[in-house]
Amino acid sequence: MRERLRKLLPLAEENAVRYRRDFHAHPELGWGEYRTASLIARRLQELGYRVKTGQAVLDGKSRMGLPEADPMRRQYDRAIREGADREYAETMREGFTGVTGELGQGTGATIGFRFDIDAVPVRETLDPDHFPARENFTSRHDEAMHACGHDGHAAIGLGLAEIIAGLDARLPGRVKLIFQPAEEGVRGARAMVEAGVVDDVDILFGLHIGLGARKTGEFRCGTRGFLATTKFDAHFTGVPAHPAYDPHKGRNALLSAATAVMNLQAIPPHGAGRTWVHVGSLTTGAGRNLIPDRAVLVMETRGETSALDDYARTYAERIIATSAEMHGTRCSIVRMGEAASGDSDEGLMRRVHEIARRSGVFPDLKLSNEGSIGVSEDFTHMMKRVADRGGRSTYLLLGSDLVGNHHSPQFDFDESVLGRGVEILALLALELGGESHEV
């Protein structure tokens, strides 16, 4: 079987680079990944996978942070113009942009792999020294860029799909590929979990290019210290008025929002660990001679544990409500995303380390990142559901020389990580598929 795998790898790696560049040139924001998801679904079907899309893999009531109807419709229309698969895209209308593919009939374990597919709202640099610019595959969309490597994750997923399809008759268990929308803002995983996508998975892998592994050849077999987080928008509604003639008749939404911003920075620390609160945007006002009657805070809280995030979020919501009351405005809070804290399974990390060491795919191996990863990931929803049902999960870090920071206009990675990623995931599917999930 290893010999067959080696024969399949060169073409899968070549195709992964091609997939990556195509996805990179056509980035799509969360819940609008119609082109990306529909082309993934079509390719999986061509390879013989049992494919599910749309509402079959996403619970509509559990989705958070959905765009407005008009932008979502424009994203769909653009995807069709740019070559989306019409049949599959139709199943994904109104933001149901998830895909799963299953292969294998073996009696062994079900091995799941999750790949996020969304872009971030960043305008990509056109500097001629930027590799995608030099090779002519920069983003065609001014409002979006694959500035976090999700184009690479999706490409690794399809490369893995090709390898697994070539080994189908030899698979000891089942392989389940999960292509998740809206990871940015931690919005998409919960809806897939609530749709039952990981309920049959014994061993689950997530992955990310870079983050705690920033050099080509590095590999971290697990991740510790995902931060819990809550993303929400606070909407203040007041009463407009003239600021000189009848200011007493107005109710200033800007004052409420500004009062909230200043006091949010004064949330006291918690003795059990670190918490964070961050306001990323304050939108308000219509002119210098009008008391603002609308204001919106776009913000988040984080905590080293879910309990600590709950502490910060509850305190923040109380400050927001009190700030509205102080100035006679009304407020509403809309939850836009959330993720729990989490750690990879220790036993599974060690098993992955053993397989990776024998493979020689990555020369620089470590069991996990050092300390907390310092970010949040909604993959933790999937980790928890799998653990609750007796399974194991780990989140892999694939090392790559990076240009620019994650979420920056200059971001890029070494494409050689794509082939390495495909190979190690294929080996994990083969080695662990014939084992009990209690590794």
Q: Where are the domains of the chain?
A: 2-226+342-433, 228-339
- Report the pLDDT value the prediction gives residue 167, as an integer from 0 to 100: 87
- Report the pLDDT value the prediction gives residue 435, as an integer from 0 to 100: 66
The residues with which 219 forms a beta bridge, in sequence order, are 365, 398
Would you say 90 and 226 are in contact if contact means Cβ atoms under 8 Å apart? Answer: no
- Report the pLDDT value the prediction gives residue 226, as an integer from 0 to 100: 96
- Report the pLDDT value the prediction gives residue 212, as an integer from 0 to 100: 86
- CA 402 to each of CA 17, 140, 410: distance values in angstroms, whole numbers, following the listed order: 16, 22, 10
CATH architecture assignment, domain 228-339: 2-Layer Sandwich (3.30)
CA quadruple 188, 192, 193, 198: dihedral sign: negative
Token duo for residue 348:
């599974």
CA dist., res. 330 & res. 260, Å (int): 13
- Report the pLDDT value the prediction gives residue 168, as an integer from 0 to 100: 75
Token duo for residue 211:
């983050």
Would you say 359 and 242 are in contact if contact means Cβ atoms under 8 Å apart? Answer: no
- CA 433 to each of CA 8, 16, 318: distance values in angstroms, whole numbers, following the listed order: 19, 23, 49
- Report the pLDDT value the prediction gives residue 319, as an integer from 0 to 100: 98
CA dist., res. 63 & res. 79, Å (int): 21
Token duo for residue 62:
């559990």
Would you say 418 and 159 are in contact if contact means Cβ atoms under 8 Å apart? Answer: yes
What average pLDDT does the chain have? Answer: 96
Task: Note the pLDDT tens digit of each residue in 187-207.
Answer: 999 999 999 999 999 999 999
Taking only the tens of pLDDT, the chain with its 439 residues reads 778 888 999 999 999 999 999 999 999 999 999 999 999 999 999 999 999 999 999 999 999 999 999 999 999 999 999 999 999 999 999 999 999 999 998 788 999 999 999 999 999 999 999 999 999 999 999 999 999 999 999 999 999 999 999 987 678 889 999 999 999 999 999 999 999 999 999 999 999 999 989 999 999 999 999 999 999 999 999 999 999 999 999 999 999 999 999 999 999 999 999 999 999 999 999 899 999 999 999 999 999 999 999 999 999 999 999 999 999 999 999 999 999 999 999 999 999 999 999 999 999 999 998 888 999 999 999 999 999 999 999 999 999 999 999 999 999 999 999 999 999 999 999 999 876 444 4
**169 CB-contact burial (10 Å; exposed 0-12 / middle 13-18 / buried 19+):** exposed
392-398 and 203-209 strand pairing: parallel
- Report the pLDDT value the prediction gives residue 439, as an integer from 0 to 100: 42
Task: Note the pLDDT tens digit of each residue in 397-427.
Answer: 999 999 999 999 999 999 999 999 999 999 9
Would you say 257 and 321 are in contact if contact means Cβ atoms under 8 Å apart? Answer: no
Pick among 3.40.630.10, 3.40.190.10, 3.40.50.1100, 3.30.565.10: CATH of 2-226+342-433: 3.40.630.10
Phi, psi (5° rounding) for residue 158? -75, -35
Q: What is the pTM of this model?
A: 0.95
**What's the angle, vertex CA 404, arms to CA 399 and CA 409, rounded to 5?**
125
* SS3 sequence of the chain: CHHHHHHHHHHHHHHHHHHHHHHHHCCCCCCCCHHHHHHHHHHHHHCCCEEEEHHHCCCHHHCCCCCCHHHHHHHHHHHHHCCCCHHHHHCCCCCCCCEEEEECCCCCCEEEEEEECCCECCCCCCCCCCHHHHCCCCCCCCCCECCCCHHHHHHHHHHHHHHHHHCHHHCCCEEEEEEECCCCCCCCHHHHHHCCCCCCCCEEEEEEECCCCCCCCEEECCCCCECEEEEEEEEEECECCCCCCCHHHCECHHHHHHHHHHHHCCCCCECCECEEEEEEEEEECCCCCCCCCEEEEEEEEEECCHHHHHHHHHHHHHHHHHHHHHCCCEEEEEEEEEECCECCCHHHHHHHHHHHHHHCCCCEEECCCCCCCCCCCCHHHHHHHHHHCCCEEEEEEECCCEECCCCCCCCEECCHHHHHHHHHHHHHHHHHHCCCCCC
